[in-house]
């Protein structure tokens, strides 16, 4: 066979094998027996061995065989992978639907006449992933991570047979990112555990645990052996192409292009049909080949989804309807009191170990003393403990019929269990706090963990256990002491050698280059999260301005009310906190200047923009920030509500849709002139 004829035959074999994979995994059909499929694959392997120059990354033979990684690299999601809110009862579902209707401006009379269309599907108990296709070819796989950043698992997802390396047919966008849930079937899970026990290895606790562990193997050959599967549940970010205007039709498009969608997906009308679907799936739950923990409802219309919008980490137009939580009976052995980063003292139940929801539980949350009083809980009681999915286990009921003759009443200690400082009840009368602040070792330890966390100063390698070691040896009296640590001190710690000590000190040094929002967030001010820290930085521009701001000025910052403003002023008026900040700045922590946004002119007030295509004079993120700083809003898709489309090169389907809807279109120069930003 000549090289030319071999090239032609390799292309034919790849096409045939992809076709059979599509029929088998997507259509549940078989055209040829397994033996014929094996012969095609063997012929392809033989030709590629003879002509290695013909091997491509999309070849069916290249799913497995990459060199093991030393670590996973980070991936920035083009569009955040959000989590879902939960409902647990039919009334919760009705309330969710009413909130959606309210966001759409529907009146009570309209609700009674018109119900919304939803798409329902089983909520798989697996691992969420993102798949990125360019020109129909799989180029990246990523974990959800924190929603904004995940880990690059491309080598591993390529080993999964139910994920196509090349999309089928045509009509897909040039760039298409899809989201899906990876899982291990019940039968596969049982086989994996049986094999583990046969080889005296520790079995996995549940299929989700097995899927997560299999996906994050640095050696993709191990992942390949675990027979992971996927169901795609949404289209994410896309460019240079068109997708349907409804969620259901988009799923049908994805299925048509060779992506596996759940056969249980159903389009329904209104809350009653949502509830009926939930009950139907609940009856089928045990017979399904995979584990599920509920049902997901999504508003079908993409335009209505845009109108309903999002909260910080979840869409308002979707929710998960969880199945009843799994519960077991056990005994409350003791109650211990933990001190958190802000001084809040929380009771924690110590239980007789019990197996619930796939794991053995020995601790459970009790929330606060009011909850203990409500439950009428005593040490020695028989209690029902509940665990739903990944939710922290909690004590939900005391079985008073089983109460022993002698029990112990639970009381809040007068002194902090860590530093013995006075314990005070907060202004709402719910939370008890140690009033020692960072002088309390527990608060100090938690504040250091928070300061070093990913969304704060992001000190790589400074995990919780290392912080606890350092605090136990009194090497850290405050977060500022991190920057005084020497490699020779770290070498003395358990688990450290010279190389790891040098690596950690280098990471601490690197963390000195940060941003003002991250620094503010890292300080751990009560109720000042990541978003509030950004708002403060953008409003005031400098740390000095924030520290010296009065209550009234702080309350003028978006999303900051009197309570949060009071927490901020109290924090910066504390002399110890000021000393810690001075120590951090003296250690060399710096950040780039922030230009304070001026929105008094409000040139974009109330206007909705969509940004698409490649911009030359700024990044799209810069354009979005400028729009928001001038009072405008940025949407991810074009609709009748869109006022302007900022279109760069290769604007694609969004430009076509904007033209069809009569939306005003700006090129980059027109936008700059309108915003007067240069």
Which residues share a beta bridge with 149? 76
The DSSP output letter for 25 is I
All residues at 6 or more sequence positions from 33 whose CB lies less than 8 Å from its CB, including other chains: none
Task: Specify the 3-state DSSP secondary structure of 573.
Answer: helix
Q: Which residues pair with 294 in a beta bridge?
A: 123, 322
Is residue 123 part of the annotated active site? The answer reads yes
* Largest Cα–Cα separation, the chain: 90
Measured CA to CA, the distance from residue 144 to residue 636 in angstroms comes to: 19
Rounded Cα distance between 344 and 443, Å, is: 9
Report which of 64, 61, 78, 56 is spatially closest to residue 7, judged by C-alpha positions.
Answer: 56
Burial class, 183, CB count within 10 angstroms (exposed 0-12 / middle 13-18 / buried 19+)? buried
Helix (H) or strand (E) holding 633: strand 633-635
Name the β-bridge partners of 665.
645
Helix-strand-coil split of the chain, %, nearest 5: 40, 20, 40
Secondary structure class of 297 (helix, strand, coil) = strand
Question: What is the Cα–Cα distance from 299 to 81, expressed in whole angstroms?
Answer: 17
d(CA 298, CA 256): 21
Q: Is 456 exposed, middle or buried (0-12, 13-18, 19+ CB in 10 A)?
A: buried
DSSP H or E stretch at residue 132: strand 127-134
Instruction: Residue 611: count other Cβ atoms within 10 Å of its Cβ.
Output: 24
534: Cα separation from own chain's centroid: 20
Given 8, 106, 123, 657, the catalytic residue: 123
The residues, any chain, with a CB within 8 Å of residue 171's CB and separated by 6 or more, are 241, 242, 253, 257
| Nearest in space to 125 (alpha carbons), one of 226, 27, 231, 220 | 231
Active-site residue list: 123
């Amino acid at each position: 066979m000549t090289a030319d004829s071999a090239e032609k035959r390799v292309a034919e074999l790849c096409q045939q094998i992809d076709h059979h994979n599509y029929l088998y995994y997507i259509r549940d059909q078989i055209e040829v027996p397994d033996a014929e499929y094996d012969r095609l694959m063997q012929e392809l392997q033989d030709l590629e061995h003879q002509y290695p120059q013909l091997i491509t990354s999309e070849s069916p033979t290249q799913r497995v065989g990459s060199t093991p990684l030393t670590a996973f690299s980070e991936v920035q999601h083009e569009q955040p992978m959000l989590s879902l809110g939960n409902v647990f009862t039919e009334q919760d579902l009705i309330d969710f639907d009413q909130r959606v209707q309210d966001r759409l401006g529907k009146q009570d009379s309209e609700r009674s006449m018109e119900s919304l269309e939803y798409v329902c599907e089983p909520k798989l108990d697996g691992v969420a992933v993102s798949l990125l296709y360019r020109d129909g070819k799989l180029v990246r796989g990523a974990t959800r991570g924190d929603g904004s950043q995940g880990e690059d698992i491309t080598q591993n997802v390529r080993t999964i047979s139910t994920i196509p390396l090349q999309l089928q047919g045509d009509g897909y966008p040039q760039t298409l990112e899809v989201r899906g849930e990876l899982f291990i079937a019940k039968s596969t899970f049982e086989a994996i555990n049986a094999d583990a026990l046969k080889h005296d290895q520790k079995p996995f606790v549940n299929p989700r645990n097995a899927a997560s562990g299999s996906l994050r193997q640095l050696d993709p050959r191990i992942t390949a052996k675990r027979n992971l599967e996927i169901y795609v549940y949404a289209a994410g970010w896309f460019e240079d192409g068109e997708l349907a205007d409804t969620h259901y039709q988009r799923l049908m498009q994805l299925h048509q292009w060779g992506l596996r969608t759940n056969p249980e997906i159903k389009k329904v009308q209104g809350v009653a049909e949502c509830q009926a679907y939930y009950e139907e799936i609940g009856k089928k739950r045990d017979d399904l080949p995979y584990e599920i923990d509920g049902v997901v409802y999504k508003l079908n219309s993409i335009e209505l989804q845009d109108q309903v919008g999002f909260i910080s980490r979840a869409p308002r137009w979707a929710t998960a309807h969880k199945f009843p939580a799994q519960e077991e009976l056990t005994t409350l052995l003791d109650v211990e009191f933990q001190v958190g980063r802000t001084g809040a003292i929380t009771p924690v139940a110590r239980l007789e170990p019990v197996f619930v929801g796939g794991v053995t539980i020995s601790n459970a949350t009790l929330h606060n003393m009011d909850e203990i009083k409500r439950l009428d809980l005593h040490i020695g009681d028989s209690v029902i403990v509940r665990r739903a999915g990944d939710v922290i286990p909690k004590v939900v009921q005391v079985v008073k019929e089983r109460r022993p003759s002698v029990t112990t009443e639970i009381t809040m200690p007068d002194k902090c269990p860590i530093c013995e400082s006075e314990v005070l009840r907060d202004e709402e009368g719910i939370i008890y706090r140690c009033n020692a602040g960072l002088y309390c070792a527990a608060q100090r330890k938690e504040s250091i963990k928070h300061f070093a966390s990913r969304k704060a100063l992001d000190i790589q390698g400074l995990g919780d256990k290392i912080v606890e070691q350092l605090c136990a040896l009194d090497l850290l009296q405050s977060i500022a002491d991190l920057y005084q640590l020497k490699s020779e001190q770290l070498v003395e710690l358990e688990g450290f050698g010279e190389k790891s000590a040098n690596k950690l000190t280098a990471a601490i040094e690197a963390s000195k280059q940060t941003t003002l929002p991250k620094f503010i967030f890292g300080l751990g001010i009560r109720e000042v999260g990541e978003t509030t820290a950004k708002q403060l930085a953008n409003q005031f521009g400098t740390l000095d301005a924030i520290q010296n701001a009065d209550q009234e000025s702080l309350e003028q910052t978006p999303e900051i009310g009197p309570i949060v403003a009071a927490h901020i002023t109290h924090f910066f008026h504390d002399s110890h906190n000021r000393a810690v900040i001075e120590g951090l700045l003296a250690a060399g922590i710096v950040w780039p200047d922030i230009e304070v946004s001026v929105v008094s002119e409000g040139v974009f007030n109330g206007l909705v923009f969509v940004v698409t295509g490649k911009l030359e004079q700024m990044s799209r993120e810069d354009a979005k920030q400028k729009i928001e700083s001038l009072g405008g809003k940025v949407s991810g898709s074009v609709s009748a509500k869109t006022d302007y489309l900022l279109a760069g090169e290769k604007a694609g389907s969004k430009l076509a849709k904007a033209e069809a809807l009569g939306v005003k279109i700006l090129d980059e120069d027109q936008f700059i002139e309108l915003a007067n930003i240069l």
